[in-house]
Structure 1
Amino acid sequence: MTNELEERLVAIEMALANQEKITEDLNQVIIEQGRMIDRLVKQNQYLMTLAEQDTVKPLSEETPPPHY
């Protein structure tokens, strides 16, 4: 193998290793974002449940304050 071909092969191998590292890093980010989304969905469901339980009555159903 000529020196020029060997240098090109080394450059290609280095570029491939760099791409593999970037792909792995991005995969880890995606995994963490998935976990964060799961937590946020659970929090949102909990808050929606609280909001449904704490409904405001229509004015006609409210008892007047004691000073009336």
Structure 2
Amino acid sequence: MDPALELRLTDLESRVAHHERMAEEMSQVIFQQGQMIDRMTAQLRRLRDQLADAEFSGGRSPQDDRPPPHY
């Protein structure tokens, strides 16, 4: 095989290996970000539900229904 052609082929193989490694690393980052988005979405849903419950109850707690201590 021609030495120049062999050198070019080796360079191309090295570049492909580098791109494959980068693609795998990016895939892992995207997967982790997806998990984080799922957790944050669930947390936001819980907070939204808590806020809706607080608004529904008028923002009052059971302690608000007690008479003041001077009664």
TM-score range, shorter chain: 0.7 to 0.9
Runs of 4+ in structure 1 displaced over 6 angstroms? none
Aligned to 1:49: 49
Kindly state the Cα deviation for residue 30 of structure 1 after the two structures are TM-superposed.
0.5
* RCO comparison, higher one (Cα < 8 Å, 6+): 2
Q: What residue in structure 2 maps to residue 25 of structure 1?
A: 25
Cα deviation digits, residues 37-66 of structure 1 (max 9, x gap): 000010000000000011174xxxxxxxx7
Structure 2 residue aligned with 1:35: 35
List gaps (5 residues or longer) in structure 2. Answer: 59-67
| Aligned length in residues | 58
Q: CA RMSD in A?
A: 1.3
For structure 1, the 5+ residue unaligned runs are 58-65
Percent of aligned pairs sharing the same letter = 36
